[in-house]
A and B are shown apart, each in its own frame.
Chain A
């Protein structure tokens, strides 16, 4: 075995007669031993990232539990909740409205190409109404709000962390979770469904505009068809999704801001992470909730 090492170093991939003598197993062991540093560091890297993921999951879970506990125990900073209603809800209206409008319009246009051979008029109305209320309005509103609100929350709370304002809150007998996190999470969970409801209406209206003005369908039958195809469940499922997304977006913003690293770089990373994790979670939960509702 010892003899085998020398030639192995030069040509570790080549088997020579020494290897044959000592058996292929030994050769393999030697080969492995040579590669040990590499294998070790690979295992280490894998181990590290697994530990990191588990750790992150644990700390997010703790964060959620703590937030929920503080949501349910007084005092609630009502004024802060109201301010967040404005910040998260009202100021997101333009971006959510525009997204819904143009999505509805392009849906009508695109499905016309596909359905023009069939009964286009009724098909377009159904496609627009169903896909807007069930999927597109909640998901796109969620993603838009993740970019607008999630980032802002992470930056704001992260800056407070870095400048020790969060520590200062604790020394002034105010629980930072209660003061900073709870109002934002409550506002996000309540406001996103409202935004999505408005988005539903605007989106359907977008489809209606294109159908009647561009494609030349009759407005009466389009509206009638929309009314016919929509069921309560379509809208409700969209709103439930929206509430979940609002919770996720604000939670991720708060979590990453709260645990922000040091300095401007730390805040920057917190902001990026907040938007990325919120967006991915929105897509994952969208699938899961769809499965719960429609299977």
Chain B
């Protein structure tokens, strides 16, 4: 039997106290595809990624990666599984006590036992692929601009050529040209390296560019999922409202009031 889905989520629930963030997520991500998640701010997109990674313990449900159940699995099994993953955190999460090149090379040195010299060369290659280079390799993350930090974090996420890559808002805070470079880079990771990508973004142009499939999350559930070509003609009121950025529609929770006043 071949496994068609890299990741399968079934009825995933997660609450923080009385705050019910995920309320039964069902989502399949086919092998080698690029899935984009859209949805309002604070609807639990980042929490969902962290549940898959086991950084947040889901309350209920099933998350399978390569057919292997992640919820309730042993620490060792999860650590083994982590080697397949790369993650770009929304806030970057760079190690601020280490220079930029070491940040990028971290997974190579500690996860793949690569020598420091080779790792540094590879790290600088990865930095070049995100539009930076040797010049910043020896700086510390605090010495970089926000957008540069984001790109370093991106370089770190893809440095080990992982099978599954999560991008949490990769283009937020970048200028339009650099955003397009990043979009292309993500496309390249999927097409050339055969990785499975899961990207969170608010940027519809970028979503259309990198996605094979799109899923929309609202109030802790996936309300629509389908191929990117169908996005415009989804017939789903949530999706229509979201992609056109309209103030009136079924999405009326307090967070989207921000959208209204804008």
Contacts and interface: CB of A to CB of B under 8 A. Distances in A.
A210 B11 CA distance: 75
A172 B110 contact: yes
A170 B82 contact: yes
B14 to A, nearest CB: 15
A97 B54 CA distance: 46
A175 B110 CA distance: 10
Nearest to A77: B110
B95 A168 contact: yes
A170 B95 CA distance: 13
Contacts of B87: 168, 171
Q: How large is the interface on A (under 10, 10 to 19, 20 to 34, 35 or more residues)?
A: 10 to 19
A179 B107 CA distance: 13
B202 interface: no
B91 A173 contact: no
Interface in A165-181: 165, 167-168, 170-175, 179
A148 B177 CA distance: 48
Contacts of B160: 172
Contact of B53 (A171, A174, A179): A171
A164 B89 contact: yes
Contacts of A59: none
Interface residues of B, number: 22
B262 interface: no
Contacts of A163: 91, 93, 96
Contacts of A175: 79
Given A167-B50, A167-B55, A172 B93 contact: no
Interface of A: 160, 163-165, 167-168, 170-175, 179
B32 interface: no
A165 B82 contact: no
Given A167-B89, A173-B83, 19 more contacts: A163-B91, A163-B96, A164-B89, A164-B93, A165-B94, A165-B96, A167-B53, A167-B93, A168-B89, A168-B95, A170-B55, A171-B86, A172-B110, A172-B156, A173-B110, A174-B110, A174-B111, A175-B79, A179-B110
Can you list the 3 inter-chain pairs with the closest CB atoms, starting with the nearest? A173-B111, A164-B93, A168-B93
B85 interface: yes
Contacts of B91: 163-164
A164 B86 CA distance: 14
A171 B157 CA distance: 9
B85 A171 contact: yes
Contacts of A171: 53, 55, 82, 85-87
Contacts of A168: 87, 89, 93-95
B217 to A, nearest CB: 20
A168 B168 CA distance: 13
26 contacts: A160-B95, A163-B93, A164-B89, A164-B93, A165-B93, A165-B95, A165-B96, A167-B50, A167-B53, A167-B55, A167-B93, A168-B87, A168-B93, A168-B94, A168-B95, A170-B54, A170-B55, A171-B55, A171-B86, A172-B106, A172-B107, A172-B160, A173-B82, A173-B107, A174-B111, A175-B79
Contacts of A160: 95
Contacts of A172: 82, 106-107, 110-111, 156, 160
A171 B55 CA distance: 9
A170 B80 CA distance: 11
Contacts of B111: 172-174
Nearest to B89: A164
